[in-house]
Structure 1
Amino acid sequence: MNIELRHKGRKAFAASIFALAMGTMAPQAMADTYNIRLSNLYPENHPMCIQTNNFAKFVEEGTDGNVKVEVYCNNQLGNEREASEGVRRGSLEMVMSGGGGLGRFVPEFYTLELPFLYPETRRINDVTWALIDDINDLANKRGFEILGFGYEGPRSINSVESFDTLAEMENYKLRIPEAPLYVGMAKALGAIPTPTAFTEAYTSLQTGVADGMESGPSTTYNNKFFEVAPYYVQTEHIVNPCYLAINLDYFNALPEEYQQVFRDAGKRSTDIMLEDVLKSNDEVMAKMKDEGLTVVELAPGEAEKFRDVLKPFSEEYAKSIGDDAVNLLAKIREVLAEE
């Protein structure tokens, strides 16, 4: 038996052992077809859900139909935290998740969504791909492989009542994701952090549990938050990534040529998503205005006050996570300093 055949034999044996260990979640080692479930918290018409469907299409095309990715949007497979935990444990193959999910297991990721980090939305795509190896070094330690990104923002505040100064944030009940970064940010602004699950955000505004919440234009429109919070206060404080993640053991057990197809599909779908969300932001803002939304610009000098109060918070927050977060923030700024 030659070396190549012995290598193939060892590879097949290893794959079969992996399948036994991972149960129904593992690749079907004795066949050449794979079925993957991908969880996404966003509704079907959101650019983030459209992106994951694009990813699924590109993977199926690139593997001649041997890999089928079934996308479940709108929290069908559990909320963001539950789906991320499922991928980490291996009971689910893939998730599109941000700080509310993956950030619980890779807290350094919060560094990529610190307030007022990016001068414009498009620059976040430069940063994530320039630092993809650093991002995966962190993700791999927690059982994830990152294949692509989705982007949300710039995030502003959907408010039940209008306001245009930082001082009016004092004791303001701000609905935020269930994530430490956003709790700290709300406190730094003088607000009362009100963490709720994304699925409960609309109700929290409707019932007075929260005075407002922060989100990007597409999320505001697709979830109809403007119906219960008719003022959109343009703080534009955060542009944040979400992460297209796959269970690391599952990914490593795929044939190498399929792994490359996944990476290519992740990059291609991310680039399309960036353009989609920028276009969608303009379109949905116009639609919401037509449906009664009032866009509120901050009073003169107030944007600088928001930046000034959140700058020291960002530095301290990175330090609180640890050296890896501080180093990642330094690399982010290096990329942003490049022309």
Structure 2
Amino acid sequence: MILFKFLNLKLRLLSLSLLFALFSFSLNAAEYTGRLSMHWNDKHHCTKHAQMFVDEVFEKSNGRLKIEVFHSGQLFGIREIMGGITSGAVDLGGVVGVVGFPKINKNFNVATIPGLFDSFEQQREFFQKSEKGAEIWGDLLKKTNSTLVMYNPVGPVMTFSGARELTGVDAMKDLKARRLIGAEEPMWKAYGAKIVGLKTSEVYTALQTGMIDTINTPPQSIRAYSWWEFLKFGQRPYQYFADAYIMANSDWFNKLPSDLQKIVLEAGKKFGDVSTDKIIGVGEEVISEFEARGGKMTTLTGAEKVKFDNLMTEKVLPAMMDKFDADALKAAETFTSN
């Protein structure tokens, strides 16, 4: 009987110890939290890289900082996310620069000029290292109360269509083209295409119903969103490099202890490099899959490439001049020519 009482007491003490340990772990695990909102779905490479970042932060912080991911526009869409970060409605968000930034500082639109930058790295260097670019970037951070945590590029942008083979400039006339950003409009008008403004979440249905038949997008998106069910033709060259970012609300970020801030930034650097290193290769992989599904790619060369370049220089760029200040354009052109 005494032995039974002793074992029962020992079991109760062990249970209490386990409960206390679990309670202590729960307190530690919930010490700091964050919510990360993205419009990309769970199949998109940007979501996958963001999840790698989140997992790394949780692991390196020993569970002290847990960031919950909300993808597929559960909280904010592609056009609304920057406002959500600024207001503190979410702590972090996935922002496509050419969508979220120009309404805050229109000079970010230089990133949409066809053929201006030749890589993501060159574009980033302009906004980080050149005097004018750094001025634009600093203004964006100040006005949005945000901190850059991670580069998470969407991909280089090209044209896809379900209507006809995109053999050259003339093939674009009368196509029903989706417009996501205002800076796209001058090009579609120069082509003689019909323009329909749509959010990313509306594209699949619009392609399905025939509301649109053409879109400018990184190749990765036609696979992630299954748009290639309707898009059968593609055209290169790449027009511009659509960079994206994991941005944090600065109030949230600055309240983190310095060791957690370091973990967040180191994880962002690590998986931002992974995302950037893979982005071009993944795009080419998608194009190969697109062709294997029966898609037909055209890469403009010779006279057609000259015709494309002339259209961009003589019609599209002049029509874009209200999208940015002249000194921002000059600074970007000077930077890229060096």
Q: Which residue of 2 aligns with 1:47?
A: 45
2:166 corresponds to which of 163, 167, 174: 163
Which residue in the other structure is 1:83 paired with? 81
Amino acid at match of 1:241: D
Name the counterpart of 1:101.
100
Equivalent AA in structure 2 for residue 297 of structure 1:
T
Contact 2:233 2:295 survives alignment (8 Å): yes
SS for the counterpart of 1:151 is: coil
Which of the residues 218, 238, 241 maps onto 1:239?
A: 241
CA–CA separation in structure 2 for the residues paired with 1:73 and 1:49: 7
Secondary structure of 1:71's match? strand
Q: Please give the secondary structure, in 2, of the residue aligned with 1:175.
A: strand
> Percent same amino acid at aligned positions?
22
Shift of 1:52: 1.0
User: What is the deviation of 1:44?
Assistant: 2.1
| SS in structure 2 at match of 1:301 | helix
Structure 2, unpaired ranges of 5+: 1-27
Match of 1:4 in 2: none
What is the alpha-carbon distance in structure 2 between the residues aligned to residue 154 and residue 291 of structure 1?
A: 21
- With the length of structure 1 as denominator, give the TM-score of the two structures: 0.79
3-state SS, counterpart of residue 46 of structure 2: helix
Q: For the Cα contact (< 8 Å) 2:179–2:196, is it kept in 1? A: yes
What residue identity is the alignment partner of 2:83? E
| Selected match of 2:35 from 34, 37, 41 | 37
State the match for 1:189 in structure 2: 191
Cα gap change, 1:137/1:310 in structure 2, threshold over 3 Å: closer, same or farther?
Answer: same
* Range that drifts further, 312-321 or 182-191: 312-321
Q: Deviations over 1:160-201 (max 9, x none)?
A: 121312123233221121x21122332233322211010111
- Over 3 Å counting, the alpha-carbon distance change for 1:207 and 1:235 in structure 2 is farther
Q: How many equivalent pairs are there?
A: 305
Equivalent AA in structure 1 for residue 169 of structure 2: L
C-alpha contact 1:42 1:48 (8 A) present in aligned 2: yes
Residue by residue over 1:95-117, the C-alpha shift from the partner in whole angstroms, topping out at 9 and shown as x without a partner, is: 11113334433433322232112
User: Which amino acid in 2 is paired with 1:317?
Assistant: M
- 1:242 Cα deviation from its structure 2 partner: 1.3
Q: TM-score, normalized by length of structure 2?
A: 0.79
Please tell me the residue identity of whatever aligns with 1:41: H
Whether 1:175 and 2:178 are equivalent positions in the alignment is: yes
Q: For the residues of structure 2 that align with 1:273 and 1:153, how far apart are their CA atoms?
A: 10
SS state of the match for residue 246, structure 1?
strand
Paired residues of 1:96 and 1:242 also in contact (CA < 8 A): yes
Could you tell me which residue of structure 2 aligns to residue 212 of structure 1?
214
Distance 1:133 1:336, change over 3 A: same
Say if 1:93 and 1:246, in contact at 8 Å, map to a contact too.
Answer: yes
Please say which structure displays the higher CA radius of gyration: 2
Structure 1, unpaired ranges of 5+: 1-29
Contact 1:189 1:310 in 2 (8 A): no
RMSD, aligned α-carbons: 2.8
Deviation, 1:133, is 5.0
Instruction: Check the 8 A contact 2:105/2:139 in 1, yes or no.
Output: no
In the alignment, the residues of structure 1 paired with residue 84 and residue 293 of structure 2 have an alpha-carbon distance, to the nearest angstrom, of 39
Structure 1 position 248, deviation (Å)? 2.4
Please show how residues 61-80 of structure 1 align to structure 2 within 5 Å. Answer: 61-80=59-78
**1:15-26 aligned within 5 A:** none
Rounded Cα–Cα distance in structure 1 between residues aligned with 2:299 and 2:267: 39
Q: What is the deviation of 1:123?
A: 3.9
| Alignment partners' CA distance in 2, 1:35 and 1:152 | 26
* Matching residue within 145, 148, 151 for 1:149: 151
1:332 Cα deviation from its structure 2 partner: 4.1
Aligned-partner Cα distance in 2 for 1:247–1:63: 19
Residue 331 of structure 1: CA displacement? 4.8
* 2:30–2:66 CA contact under 8 A, matched in 1: no
Contact persistence 1:106–1:142 (CA under 8 A): no
Greater shift, 295-304 or 168-177, is seen at 295-304
